[in-house]
């Protein structure tokens, strides 16, 4: 029986395989930074809509 942790997940059609590995070159952003930027952008848009 193959080890399911190493084989990854196969789609129903068997065309796509997902791996548990992370890309080492990928840009890593803290989730709190994304949350703060989203709230800041929403406030900025609301202030602009009130001003103009």
> pLDDT, tens digit, for every residue of 10-52?
545 555 655 556 667 878 899 999 999 999 999 999 999 998 7
Domain membership of residue 45 as a residue range: 25-52
Quick check: is 51 in a domain?
Answer: yes
Q: What does the pLDDT read at residue 25? A: 80
Highest mean predicted confidence (pLDDT) among 1-5, 7-11, 45-49: 45-49
Cα separation, 15 vs 4, in Å, equals: 17
- Selection from 18, 15, 16, 14 nearest residue 6 by Cα: 18
Please give the tally of structural domains in the chain: 1
Is the separation of the CB atoms in 17 and 10 below 8 Å? yes
Quick check: is 3 in a domain?
Answer: no
In this model, does residue 4 exceed pLDDT 60? no
Q: Give the pLDDT band (50/70/90) at residue 9.
A: low
Is the separation of the CB atoms in 8 and 16 below 8 Å? no
Query: Residue 29: CB partners within 8 Å, gap ≥ 6?
Result: none
Q: What does the pLDDT read at residue 26? A: 76
Cα separation, 26 vs 18, in Å, equals: 16
């Amino acid at each position: 029986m193959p080890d399911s942790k190493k084989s990854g997940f196969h789609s129903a059609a068997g065309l796509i395989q997902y791996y548990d590995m992370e890309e080492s070159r990928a840009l890593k952003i803290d989730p709190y930074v994304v949350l703060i930027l989203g709230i800041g952008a929403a406030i900025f848009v609301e202030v602009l809509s009130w001003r103009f």
